[in-house]
Amino acid sequence: MPTMTDLLHSPIHDRHVALGAKMADFGGWSMPIEYPGGGVVAEHTAVRERVGIFDVSHLGKARVSGPGAADFVNRCLTNDLRRIGPGRAQYTMCCTETGGVVDDLIQYLRSDDDVFLIPNAANTARVVELLAAAAPEGLVVENLHDRYGVIAVQGPSSDAVLRRLGLPVDHDYMSFVETEWEGLPVIVCRTGYTGERGYEIVPPWEVAGSVWDELVAAVSGHGGLPCGLGARDTLRTEMGYPLHGNDLSLDITPVMAGAAWAVGWDKPAFWGKDALTAERAAKQSRLMRGLVASGRGIPRSHCEVKDAAGTVVGEVTSGTFSPTRKQGIALALLDRSVTLGDEVVVDVRGREVPATVSKPPFVEVGVRER
């Protein structure tokens, strides 16, 4: 178990320490959970109502380049890159041949010969290793984890914040623009993990701190806040967005997790296609559903879910208190016999908490339209 002194630091680490952030281990990186002055609920609310900024530089960065790079990546990862064109981003997954999920990630299609990837922190090395082992001669697979930072600007006022910095806004959802900051190339992508309108900025490591400083000043003018990964988790859970290691894993496939929409089923090949196709056709695996607690108590990961007869019908994969709804919510893998609207019970440390099976998201937001 690594100590805090063993952990990697983002290029903005000293800023978090100066702000008094509570730090914790995220995928081997020391990252802020929350800041003084309100904590997770205040930061969550700032994003839903105004704007917040997150340092997510612990996320991986990788690149596949060379002749036919896009076609190669398309033969490996689940989603179909041919559904999008250059300048677009796409959610996808890296699977094993048995259908388990090594990682879920965002792929940026820069050209037919250049694909930029944003994997999860702890999985970056493995994703790069798998791609490099499969790459034909002439393709280069690079791990750029410590070459770039990533800063997310999320919330209704995110456009105004980026305009103050002179960064491009108003491009379509899941599209990106390449620009400059202090003479160095920066990617600005209309993506996020909160359900609100927002952007993810990918600056070179050496200027990430100055981008952050300008963003802190800009969001304060709109009632916004720096936000930690605690609020990021409550925001993503309200949207029903999966977290790798909880809602996707080597044991939880895209079919089980309700992520079949991110699989290019008609592609000739991708890692895990045969296993996932068979699983999809069999219709026997558990499926991810939402739970809304109707009693006091907050469902947590690994809590058992029981039906009215007391039979175990599933397990919570992610659970939290929803600051927006003011009640417990969860994602859970449930037997197919359980349907939307059913009443179930979640065993929270020996206490039975009633809940209703529902379909995420748990809040009304229109990230694509707003």
For residue 318, the tally of other CB atoms under 10 A from its CB is 22
Cis peptide bond N-terminal to 11, omega within 30: no
State residue 295's pLDDT score: 80
pLDDT tens for residues 144-175? 999 999 999 999 999 999 999 999 998 999 99
CB 225 within 8 A of CB 38: yes
Indicate the pTM of the whole model: 0.96
Question: What is the per-residue pLDDT for 367?
Answer: 53
Q: DSSP state, 6?
A: G
Number of Cβ atoms within 10 Å of the Cβ of 37: 11
Q: Which pLDDT score, from 0 to 100, does residue 366 have?
A: 56
The structural domains of the chain, ordered by start, are 4-56+147-239 (3.30.1360.120), 62-143 (3.30.70.1400), 286-358 (2.40.30.110)
Look at residue 38 in the predicted model and tell me its pLDDT: 82
State the Cα–Cα distance between residues 10 and 148, nearest whole angstrom: 9
Does residue 118 contact residue 201 with C-beta atoms inside 8 Å? no
Ramachandran area for residue 341 (φ above 0: left; ψ -120 to 50: alpha; else beta): left
Q: Which residues of the chain have pLDDT under 70?
A: 1-4, 366-370
DSSP state of 260: G
What mean pLDDT is reported for the chain? 96
| Residue partners of 59: CB distance under 8 A and separation at least 6 | 118, 119, 120, 121, 150
pLDDT value for 37: 85
The pLDDT of residue 3: 60
Given this model, what pLDDT does residue 364 score?
A: 84
User: Residue 135 carries which DSSP code?
Assistant: P
| Three-state DSSP class for residue 85 | coil
